[in-house]
Amino acid sequence: MATQKPSIPKGTRDFGPVEMARRNYIFNTIRDVYALYGYRQIETPSMENLSTLMGKYGEEGDKLLFKILNSGDFTRSVSTQQYEEMTAPQLAAKFCEKGLRYDLTVPFARYVVQHREELQMPFKRFQIQPVWRADRPQKGRYREFYQCDADVVGSDSLLNEVELMQIVDEVYHRFGVRVEIKINNRKILTGIAEVLGAADRIVDITVAIDKFDKIGLEGVNKELLEGGLSQEQVDMLQPIITLSGTNADKLATMRQVLATSETGLKGCDEVEFVLGQLTDLRSPISLDLTLARGLNYYTGCIFEVKALDVEIGSINGGGRYDNLTGIFGMPGLSGVGISFGADRIYDVLTQLDLFPKETQGGARLLFINFGEKEAAYCLQLARQTRHAGIPTEVYPDSAKMKKQMQYANALQVPYVALVGEQEMEEGLIALKDMVTGEQLMLTIEEVIGKLAN
Amino acid sequence: MATQKPSIPKGTRDFGPVEMARRNYIFNTIRDVYALYGYRQIETPSMENLSTLMGKYGEEGDKLLFKILNSGDFTRSVSTQQYEEMTAPQLAAKFCEKGLRYDLTVPFARYVVQHREELQMPFKRFQIQPVWRADRPQKGRYREFYQCDADVVGSDSLLNEVELMQIVDEVYHRFGVRVEIKINNRKILTGIAEVLGAADRIVDITVAIDKFDKIGLEGVNKELLEGGLSQEQVDMLQPIITLSGTNADKLATMRQVLATSETGLKGCDEVEFVLGQLTDLRSPISLDLTLARGLNYYTGCIFEVKALDVEIGSINGGGRYDNLTGIFGMPGLSGVGISFGADRIYDVLTQLDLFPKETQGGARLLFINFGEKEAAYCLQLARQTRHAGIPTEVYPDSAKMKKQMQYANALQVPYVALVGEQEMEEGLIALKDMVTGEQLMLTIEEVIGKLAN
């Protein structure tokens, strides 16, 4: 067989031991907090039927689905003439029945509908799995990446929103990352559009308002007018564009502006309730009307989380949706969820140097191998340290001392045990601290006492 | 959008909360033991270039690879005439550049070669990830399933074999599953073939010997003669077919039979060394010459693990290979590894009812929701129980009591907290034990003391 220079598909990554230990730290932290709030884990298959995935992410999303070629003679149902006449997407639909999951939300909706008989509502689930998108790879954007989602379906209660924000707060507290939570409500945005009589302009409006800090009130007004709003409409928007003060101040202003919109006032109520329950949150949380993510599916509260000490954009988002399962024939099931982006968090923790020291992975103790007899003896000692829960290695070959110490250094093993003939006779272990260089003669019990947590 | 009845591709599975909790118990146990022996985790992408995968699993394996359709206009490089003329596999090679990982071994070999500069040898890695095969789905065989592999490369030492058997022993000890480990050595099989002068018949021979228990010596001899061995060859095989006694007995016999084969004697030495280091293993381990797995790549010791109390075939296997990375241009790197099959272990633990009770997942405490004021109060209490590490839920809606208790029952939440107006005034919690039905009036501190581990 010809020799190949091996590589991996663009946009994908290998994770080595140190990266894995750090990624596991992220996943475990998020998982632990989800579990603490009673969310229960599920997993869905990597492949879904294309009929489940297609049409759920917009036209652009359909293009970004990875499709899996049918096995066997996939050409069976496509004649040469059809091949000539059909477009690539049409042919793909003939050649492929399955695709790789694009996110965790659609598979979750499919799961809920498929297993509705077994599920106890409200159903609180979390899911930590990779997703795949045939996006153009670039810095920080990959074709395979993990999402860490938690959702509740089957409950309208705003307590779910409250708890999800507590979860966000707790997770970043555990990471040691200072974050700011932004909250908005789709109903407030709808209310603004109602009051203005410009239902289809709400995205343009939020985009323009978002530039207030950069281009000032005049600039925003100019943009809104150029965008087709009337002077009267722009006038009505003035208190919204310059909205400031505490959350209570902002809500008071909004209640005035939205006085004629039942929906808008409902949105204010919802935000007020959620904020009212979150007075002891460690992270600042504030109403931000420019937050307009997921407008095509969110129907209530919308959240976004930004790291305060790193320029990296949103590291977390979520919101309430009222008809997730409708596309699969189960209407009227309200849900709310959040999603942590593991890759963004990885970058934040790296930049802020916040990974705990232990997240290197690997052994805490290495027995140097002085030869067959000594190694057999060390294997017995290693059984005892492992029994005490200390990750331990016995160097497998009786290689040169220098090589074995190099190995310990490269893997950042903190302690090395040297047991030669003399130590065997004395029943002692020469334990070297690889950081300080200090070396002690200890019994196996003393070594265990020193290294066990 | 038309309503769809949702389903998942055949051979794939959804894992609900209880299954996930059990699967995590399996993965965590294996991971913990791997880590205790200094193995470090890596992950590789789900997709590999087809050039990495093709030709590594035999012709049958190539057919079982899931191939991913190139994104964009995948038809670009195939004219209508080519479509007419080419076979399905040829067209697949044009339409697809990537495939889903078929096992963890080839991606690991690719990883080692690709990252050779960064790796410290010996490299001890473990990897727990799904693999995909377009096999015909059937009971116990899936198209997506997890493998849990550990391998060392870059060390010839038999101490690696010894430690891998200790790992197997420890993992099943933790599971509470009684297993039997079988060991063989490719060099012994080669030696037998050498002595017989029948190098290409070794598989037929082991298959025939394997039937000794069923069809007896005469039956085996008949089969061997019919298979084309001479009477003289069959005579030479007699001590092997009837091989019995302790491992020492078997090795003594084999040394006689293999006296003229240097390779065969080397194999005996290797097995003797490994067994000699494993005298304190909890699981029985025995030399079994009929063990002939992976003969096309294993070059030294071969292992297999069988559960003693369940009829389920092999639940574990492994062995030494001397040229894993050769196909990627890095010859001469010896390795040895084992693989746990999570699905088989799941079935064994289910059949023997060995999953710990805690592996249900979900909350340990549910606060009943008596209304907005009470719920807000309970949210504060829940903060305290969660802070103490107790997975806690507050029922989000003030639904009927019966419905809330039903929820607790369905999710097997062991404790329910009832905090109404009176309890709020008294600063107490009515804590109901859902198993015994017992109800106690406790302070939050007492609840935490009772439920925290």
ipTM for this prediction: 0.94
- What does the pLDDT read at residue B1? 46
Contacts of B44 in chain A (CB under 8 A): 8, 14-15
Interface touch A52/B16, C-beta < 8 Å: no
Contacts of B96 in chain A (CB under 8 A): 69
B325 interfaces chain A, CB cutoff of 8 Å: no
Contacts of A40 in chain B (CB under 8 A): 17, 20-21, 361-362, 411
Which chain B residue has its CA at the smallest distance from A38's CA? B363
Contacts of A390 in chain B (CB under 8 A): 36
Reported as a single tens digit per residue, the pLDDT across A376-405 is 999 999 999 999 999 999 999 999 999 999
Interface of B with A in 140-159 (CB under 8 A): 143-144, 152, 155-157, 159
Interface touch A83/B83, C-beta < 8 Å: yes
- What does the pLDDT read at residue A254? 96
CA dist B324 to A42, B108, B113, B114, B200, Å? 35, 9, 10, 13, 22
Give residue A327's pLDDT band: very low, low, confident or very high (50, 70, 90). Answer: confident
- What does the pLDDT read at residue B256? 96
- In order, the DSSP letters of B127-194 are EEEEEE--PPPBTTB-SEEEEEEEEEES---THHHHHHHHHHHHHHHHHT--EEEEEEEHHHHHHHHH
d(CA B252, CA B258) in angstroms, rounded, equals 10
d(CA B443, CA B430) in angstroms, rounded, equals 9
pLDDT at B89 over 50: yes
Mean pLDDT, all residues of chain A: 93
CA dist A286 to A182, A270, B104, Å? 5, 14, 47
Interface touch B4/A51, C-beta < 8 Å: yes
B132 interfaces chain A, CB cutoff of 8 Å: yes
d(CA A295, CA B110) in angstroms, rounded, equals 43
- What's the average model confidence in pLDDT over B66-85? 95
- What does the pLDDT read at residue A208? 85
- What does the pLDDT read at residue A276? 96
Strands (E) in A207-330, as ranges, are 285-287, 298-307, 314-321
- What's the average model confidence in pLDDT over B28-47? 97
Judge whether B289 and B241 are in contact, CB under 8 Å. Answer: no
Query: For A120, which DSSP code?
Result: P
d(CA B67, CA B49) in angstroms, rounded, equals 10
- What does the pLDDT read at residue B137? 85
Give residue B3's pLDDT band: very low, low, confident or very high (50, 70, 90). Answer: low
pLDDT at A212 over 90: no
A194 interfaces chain B, CB cutoff of 8 Å: no
Share of chain B above pLDDT 90, in %: 83
Reported as a single tens digit per residue, the pLDDT across B344-375 is 999 999 999 999 987 777 899 999 999 999 99
pLDDT at B231 over 70: yes
- Structure tokens, B137: 């789905």
Interface of B with A in 417-446 (CB under 8 A): none
CA angle B149, B170, B162 (to 5 degrees): 70
CA dist B340 to B27, B29, B36, B164, B218, Å? 10, 11, 16, 12, 37
Q: How many CB atoms lie within 10 A of CB A248?
A: 12
Reported as a single tens digit per residue, the pLDDT across B281-312 is 999 999 999 888 777 789 999 999 999 999 88
Which of A324 and A438 is assigned the larger pLDDT? Answer: A438
- What does the pLDDT read at residue B207? 85
Helices B262-277 and B186-196: crossing angle in degrees, nearest 10, is: 150
Residue A333, classified by CB atoms within 10 Å of its CB into exposed (0-12), middle (13-18) or buried (19+), is buried
- Give the nearest partner residue to A71 out of B134, B157, B397, using CB atoms: B134
Give residue A1's pLDDT band: very low, low, confident or very high (50, 70, 90). Answer: very low
Reported as a single tens digit per residue, the pLDDT across A3-29 is 557 999 999 999 999 999 999 999 999
- What's the average model confidence in pLDDT over A165-184? 97
pLDDT at A288 over 60: yes
Give residue B209's pLDDT band: very low, low, confident or very high (50, 70, 90). Answer: confident
Share of chain A above pLDDT 70, in %: 99
- Give the nearest partner residue to B155 out of A391, A397, A411, using CB atoms: A397
- What's the average model confidence in pLDDT over A76-98? 95
Which of B207 and B96 is assigned the larger pLDDT? Answer: B96
B394 interfaces chain A, CB cutoff of 8 Å: yes
A378 interfaces chain B, CB cutoff of 8 Å: no
d(CA A375, CA B72) in angstroms, rounded, equals 57
Of A76-80, A426-430, B3-7, the poorest mean pLDDT is in: B3-7
Which of B382 and B329 is assigned the larger pLDDT? Answer: B382
